[in-house]
Amino acid sequence: MEPFEKTILVTRPYFPPLEDFKKACEKIWQNQYLTNNGPVLREFQQRLADYLRMDVKNLDLFNNGTLALEVGLYALDLSGYDVITTPFTFVATAHAIKRIGANPVFADIDPENLCLDPAACEKLITPRTKAIVPVHVYGHPCDVDGFARLSEKYGVKIIYDAAHAFGVKLRDRSIAAYGDMSMFSFHPTKLFHSCEGGLLTFADSSLQAKLEQLRNFAILSETKCIDVGTNAKMNELQATMGNLCMNAVDRLIAYRRSIHETYEKAFARCENIRMVNPISGNTNITPDDFSRNDAYCPVLFKDFETREKVYKELKKYNVFARRYFYPLLTDFTPYLGGNETPVAKDAAARVLTLPTYDNLSLHDVEKIASIVKEIAGESK
Ligand SMILES: Cc1ncc(COP(=O)(O)O)c(C=O)c1O
């Protein structure tokens, strides 16, 4: 097979039509407002509330997902406590916990959909545990019933890292409706973005005022600062990009479905390549309950050697897949020496995330899948 002439990355950002962006910027120039809760941000916030079918009082925008999570955890007074999370995630999840002065404790994941396993978390709950931060990894829904049970039994807060899960629905509600809080990342590598950005959704609308103070230094007036806040405000240009991406989001999700189906079909008869199942068999969630976003296309190979071979040799074809999530967070310097998490360790050794984005043609997806099969020694 011939290499691709163009570089195929694991993902590429969606760019709305430039003319639309220019036109939308005219509004900003007219408003003479660039940041600090401007009118475009408020419009974006309302559109998100409508899209997620939530009250606008139950969400807030930030300049990126990491700071959104950090501010959210801080607002819940978790500093000084243990917070259970997954090692199979992007490092920002644990950084947000650590940076507010809480202690991340790592629990193992579900072998099917690779999300944090409530049963593994329960074994690690102690009087010091005040919260759990599960990740809807790749947009796969966590066992929300299992985590709700832990919340009720032990009084722990559930804060979902939903960085990958924008547009996902569960039982006809947005995935944002589960737990005490959820964070969505609007980084351009995500299927929906605002150049950079983050969204917090929360069940308790009385948190909104506190979050808005914290994202603006916790300054209330010229002479009053009430807490150790930060600068985590989304600006008007980010909100403009968010509004324009909002116009395209359903189409973007639908197209990712076709890409996913193309890979699924190509790998259907492979013995040694399996697409990761978004729903775990260990939960009450059925395929009918779940409306997916196909944000990522993760596959598992039979062993580490095959995964490494495919990852490296794909580059010769100009295809840059990514090993999301390898290494585990417990292999990174700030988190060394965490609990043993054998399921996560095995997944990290075998997983590879294949390219998916708006401008990737299905013909190219078929070719990528054929190259992957050839390298992995799959003839079917
Ligand atoms: C699981 C996860 N959590 C948190 C983040 C951080 O989001 P952001 O890049 O918007 O700060 C990301 C991605 O970047 C992520 O993949």
Q: Report the distance separating Cα 125 and Cα 122, nearest Å.
A: 5
CA of 57 relative to ligand 1 center, distance in Å:
23
- Predicted confidence (pLDDT) per residue in 362-373, tens digit: 999 999 999 999
Final residue of a domain: which of 242, 276, 294?
242
Q: Report the distance separating Cα 194 and Cα 289, nearest Å.
A: 28
Q: Are residues 205 and 292 in the same domain?
A: no
Q: Give mean pLDDT, residues 53-57.
A: 98
CA of 91 relative to ligand 1 center, distance in Å:
8
Q: Is residue 292 within 8 Å of residue 139, measured between CB atoms?
A: yes
List ligand 1's pocket residues with C-beta within 6 A.
64-66, 89-90, 92-93, 135, 161, 163-164, 185, 187, 198
Residue 104 has pLDDT above 70, yes or no: yes
Q: Write the CB contacts of 38 (distance below 8 Å, at least 6 apart in sequence).
A: 28, 31, 235, 236, 239
CA of 2 relative to ligand 1 center, distance in Å:
34
For the whole model, what pTM was predicted?
Answer: 0.98
Check residues 49 and 338 and name the one with the higher pLDDT: 49
Final residue of a domain: which of 213, 242, 271?
242
Residue 281 has pLDDT above 90, yes or no: no
Summarize the chain as % helix, strand, coil (round to 5). Answer: 40, 15, 40
Tell me how many domains the chain contains: 2
Q: Report the distance separating Cα 368 and Cα 263, nearest Å.
A: 9
Q: Are residues 369 and 266 in the same domain?
A: yes
Q: Are residues 195 and 78 in the same domain?
A: yes
Which structural domain range is residue 304 located in? 8-12+249-375
Q: Report the distance separating Cα 352 and Cα 24, nearest Å.
A: 38
Q: Give me the DSSP letters along 22-60.
A: HHHHHHHHHHT--SSS-HHHHHHHHHHHHHHT--GGGEE
Q: Give mean pLDDT, residues 308-335.
A: 98
Ligand 1, atom 10: closest residue by C-alpha: 65
- Predicted confidence (pLDDT) per residue in 151-208, tens digit: 999 999 999 999 999 999 999 999 999 999 999 999 999 999 999 999 999 999 999 9
**Tokens at 316, concatenated:** 């010769």
The domain that holds 87 is classified in CATH as 3.40.640.10
Residue 124 forms part of a structural domain: yes
What is the predicted pLDDT for the residue at 380? Answer: 66
Q: Are residues 170 and 288 in the same domain?
A: no
Q: Are residues 30 and 120 in the same domain?
A: yes
